[in-house]
Amino acid sequence: MPIYEAACRYGGCRFHMPGHKAAPVMKKFFGRAASLDITELSFSDNLLNAKGAILEAEMLCAKLYGAERVKFGTCGSTVNILSLIHSLRPLGGKLIIQKNSHVSVYSALLLSDIEPVILECSIDEDGIPKHPAPGDVKGAVEQNPDCIGALITSPDYFGFCADLRGIKEALKGRLLLVDAAHGGHLPLIYEGIYLPADAYAVSAHKALLGLTGASFTAFNDEALFEPFMESFRMFHTSSPSYPVLASLDLSREGMQKNGQRLLKELAAACAELKGKLEKLGYACVKNDDPAKLAVKPPRGSGHHLYKKLEERGAFLELSTPSCALALLSVTDGKREAKKLFKVLKEVLPLLKDGCPPRSFAGFKTQRAMPYLEAAKAERERVPLSQAVGRVAAANAGLYPPFYPLVTCGEVLTPQICEALAECGEQAFGVDFHHIFVVK
């Protein structure tokens, strides 16, 4: 574990940042993390120009993932996605994306002056947006032969994987980038799952053992690495957190040694839990990822179930009208599955039928202006109640999962304005019930 070991070996006199200098008071409150919180010194390498311990750790990670190169980061997949998309600028002006892309994708397009070709998502019976099929991508390529390629999210928040092999074929030699923020563990379950991607961004803090912010970008096409680095240096902090970097190192080591076994145990525990829940009357969404358990209550909504669990001290990742989503991870096995079962059993008698909440997924939208033109147009801030029929100048949607219901250039419908108003604080792109529209 080159980064972790370099940080542990440090015993010099600290006359450099960070200013807390691992003083006794810091150690009292932050324990070992205070000592590991060093900076870029001769022995600890330099994240943005790695040649030592960081490069060594990245190469070990690349080997585990079967990638040509890996770049570590401490600012989440957000900065990796910004950098990936921004690095494509010299290649053209259009990129295919799916509508339910994370906001970082939309921000990156705006920063990079790249026009999205947005694939609308159909919605499954649980109200979850479906991935684009290879045929959808093929159609988009035929209509936009000048596009650079596509950025696809896989898996999504709910643990569904896209057909990356089929999509890569449909792109006919163009680039395939993947937002694999939730999928760092999947190559240990599905061998070669990200091989069709030219590059993919992973949040190690979502499904691996990384501390919050720990993330990496893996490159199957090494030619993308240097252009990526140019952009990465623009967006990434110049003060990377060493505890976060060291956690990437530990995560890689842990996954390499025990990942397959732990994930098998997790999959078995999750399958057993699903069986037991179904006997009780719950239903579980059938997805591809054992780390995402979406539970559908027999009565009432997913939001109602989420609240009831919260009242008992069990906090899940998110809820939708149809389900409550629990994140499991490589650290979880039978014991945590039992805990989750126990609390779901306890709340079962408390679940009540209620007026079914509206689903906010899959609203039909109509584009009035190109995305970039609307995002850069003169704008005004109007109350949602007066925004119907106006053209959105900002992306707006729900958080989590932080993907938009409406994007810049689309017409705001009564349904969308009502949904954004109803979601209140859970909505992004909306501020005190006001939204930016094109003037």
Ligand X SMILES: Cc1ncc(COP(=O)(O)O)c(C=O)c1O
CA distances from residue 351 to 28, 274, 358 in whole angstroms, order as listed: 44, 19, 18
Stretch that binds ligand X, among 15-23, 70-78, 162-170, 249-257 (CB under 6 A): 70-78
In angstroms, rounded to a whole number, what is the distance separating the alpha carbons of residues 385 and 417? 7
Q: Dmax over Cα atoms in the chain, in whole Å?
A: 64
In angstroms, rounded to a whole number, what is the distance separating the alpha carbons of residues 36 and 246? 8
> With contacts defined by CB under 6 A, how many residues of the chain interact with ligand X?
14
Residues 6+ apart with CB under 8 A from 275: none
What residues pair up with 436 in beta bridges, in sequence order? Answer: 381
For position 104 contacting ligand X by CB under 6 A, the verdict is: yes
Q: Which is nearer to ligand X, 247 or 413 (CB)?
A: 247
For position 112 contacting ligand X by CB under 6 A, the verdict is: no
For position 74 contacting ligand X by CB under 6 A, the verdict is: no
Q: Which is nearer to ligand X, 153 or 217 (CB)?
A: 153
For position 153 contacting ligand X by CB under 6 A, the verdict is: yes
76, 132, 300, 409: which one contacts ligand X (CB under 6 A)? 76
Stretch that binds ligand X, among 8-16, 76-84, 122-130, 240-248 (CB under 6 A): 76-84
Dig out the tokens for 189 from the structure.
């379950």
- The secondary structure of 163-204 as a DSSP string is -HHHHHHHTTT-EEEEE-TT-TTGGGTSTTTTTT-SEEEEEH
CA distances from residue 18 to 23, 36, 73, 249, 350 in whole angstroms, order as listed: 11, 11, 18, 21, 50
4, 65, 72, 157: which one contacts ligand X (CB under 6 A)? 157
Q: Which is nearer to ligand X, 194 or 282 (CB)?
A: 194
Can you give 344-407 as a three-state secondary structure string?
Answer: HHHHHHHCCCCCCCCCCCCCCCCECCCHHHHHHCCEEEEEHHHCCCCEECCCEEECCCCEEEEC
Stretch that binds ligand X, among 73-81, 143-151, 260-268, 280-288 (CB under 6 A): 73-81
In angstroms, rounded to a whole number, what is the distance separating the alpha carbons of residues 435 and 431? 7
Q: Which is nearer to ligand X, 215 or 319 (CB)?
A: 215
For position 83 contacting ligand X by CB under 6 A, the verdict is: no
In angstroms, rounded to a whole number, what is the distance separating the alpha carbons of residues 50 and 71? 9
Q: Which is nearer to ligand X, 204 or 437 (CB)?
A: 204
For position 102 contacting ligand X by CB under 6 A, the verdict is: yes
40, 126, 136, 179: which one contacts ligand X (CB under 6 A)? 179
Dig out the tokens for 359 from the structure.
């689903």
Dig out the tokens for 121 from the structure.
């998502």
For position 37 contacting ligand X by CB under 6 A, the verdict is: no
Instruction: Draw the binding track, 275-314, toward ligand X (x: CB under 6 A; -: no contact).
Output: ----------------------------------------
Site for ligand X in 376-415 (CB under 6 A): 401-402
Q: Which is nearer to ligand X, 356 or 400 (CB)?
A: 400
Token pair 């694999």 in the structure block, residue: 180
181, 208, 211, 250: which one contacts ligand X (CB under 6 A)? 181
Dig out the tokens for 197 from the structure.
């991607």
Site for ligand X in 184-213 (CB under 6 A): 203
* Nearest residue to ligand X, by Cβ distance, number only: 76
Which residues contact ligand X by CB under 6 A? 76-78, 102, 104, 153, 157, 179, 181-182, 203, 215, 401-402
